[in-house]
Amino acid sequence: MALINDHYQKLQAGYLFPEIGRRVGAYCQANPDAAVIRLGIGDVTLPLVPAVVAALHEAVDEMASEKSFRGYGPDNGYDFLTEQIREHDYRRRGVAIELDEIFVSDGSKQDSGNIQEIFGADCTLSVTDPSYPVYVDTNVMAGRSGEANERGYYGGIVYLPANEDNGFTPGPPEQGVDIAYLCSPNNPTGAVASRQNLQQWVDWARENDAVIVFDAAYDAFIQDDALPRSIFEIEGARECAIEMRSFSKRAGFTGVRCAYTVIPKSVTGSNATGERVALHGLWARRHSTKFNAVPYIVQRAAAACYSPEGAAQTAEQVGYYMENARCIREGLGAAGFTVFAGEHAPYVWLKTPRGLTSWQCFDELLEKAHVVGTPGSGFGPSGEGYFRISAFNSRENVDEAIERIGKAFGG
């Protein structure tokens, strides 16, 4: 008998985005003339920049010639890419990372979901609440939780509420946990962690022998150069942190697929007899066993993001989305909404008006303004009463959405 992994049955039914799709689909069917604007799913809308497209074409031509054809690539990624990553994303910000501490992959969703495999089944974890659902769901699948209660909290997982009191950047938990997931700039709240906040986390992790899994998928959206873009800018992080970054949001690679994870060799965990074991070796083993590298063509495209033209063009793209975020923040603020964030992330976090639940706000926005956003409660119980508006759309659509929301809700 093929027994199933019954931890899967603990997962809460109706993952957020299918439910949004269902409601929008039903609305559009009933109201075929409504021009619905989608500011919901966190997917980019602008096409790949010219420097990336040129690199893709060139790499395809290389694959078409016997002399320059490439098959399986090196496990960690090609040096032409990891050297660029080390130089631009780390060394220029004063961070020393070795080339083989970088693992190129096909996505931070995968990496942030798979990383839990190298930890023991009994490890405990914390997440900030609300959070990107992958951290919790993959640990539930692996059996590191009990059942969910009626509010949506899984037994055994430590939830750290991100709220107005802590500026949506909670500090470390009182109790010891073994793995702490952090994301800054944050999806969904759009909040960015300060240097002090991250230092608190790193100090806590070292005192408690915990590991921080730091998701920096939105680092390129940070507008203030004094804010940390990497956890490794924080003293002591090389002893306790793993970092993930992605080309998805910073260069429009959501459909191209390229990301990387950094695991310093100095980050260790314990085995059953108390010996220290480097996590780097475990992840290297996992990577080489279960993954066969990112396509050569895609790695060439990712490397092109660091050329002078590629860097300028992708920065311009990020700037376009950040201008959208500014319009949303100011426009909805002027319409009377309480708005947060959107200054260092492509997301604006709203308090729902009149005490509406997140889903009531979703339905009202759809019916009255024909605008789709994302209910905060879909990212965790503390997201209830909040709403996420994404800046990933055209300026025209953003302006139109703000105007409609202002008319429907303002005054």
Ligand X SMILES: *Cc1c(COP(=O)(O)O)cnc(C)c1O
Of 201, 151, 150, 152, whose CA–CA distance to 179 is shortest? Answer: 201
Nearer to ligand X, 335 or 348 (CB): 348
Q: Which residues of 77-99 are buried (b: 16+ CB within 10 A; e: fewer)?
A: bbeebbebbbeebbeeeebebee
- Residues at the contact surface with ligand X, assessed by CB under 6 A: 42, 107-109, 112, 132, 183, 187, 215, 217, 246, 248-249, 254, 259
Nearer to ligand X by Cβ, of 114 and 124: the residue is 114
Task: Show Cβ contacts of residue 397 under 8 Å, excluding neighbours closer than 6 positions.
Answer: 37, 39
Closest separation in Å from C-beta 294 to ligand X: 11
The identity of residue 44, as a single letter, is V
Minimum CB separation from ligand X for residue 282, in Å? 21
DSSP reduced 3-state for 63? helix
- CB-closest chain residue to ligand X: 107
Q: To the nearest whole angstrom, how small is the minimum distance from the Cβ of residue 153 to ligand X?
A: 20
Cβ nearer to ligand X, comparing 268 with 324 = 324
Report, in Å, the least distance between residue 344 CB and ligand X: 14
Q: For residue 186, give both structure tokens.
A: 């944050």
| Spatial distance between the Cα atoms of 331 and 323, rounded to a whole number of angstroms | 12
- Which CB sits closer to ligand X, 248 or 313? 248
Task: Output b/e per residue, 355-384; b: 16+ Cβ within 10 A.
Answer: ebebbebbebbbeebbbbbbbbbbbbbbbb
Q: Which one, 118 or 345, has the nearer CB to ligand X?
A: 345
In whole angstroms, the minimum distance from the beta carbon of 23 to ligand X comes to: 21
Listed residue (139, 142, 141, 117) closest to 127, CA to CA: 139
Q: Which C-beta is closer to ligand X: that of 248 or that of 377?
A: 248
CB of 299 to ligand X, least distance (A): 14
Residue with Cβ nearer ligand X (137 or 405):
137
Distance of CA 323 to the CA centre of its chain: 20
Label residue 297 left, alpha or beta by phi (over 0 means left) and psi (-120 to 50 means alpha). alpha
State the minimum distance, in angstroms, from the CB of residue 40 to ligand X. 13
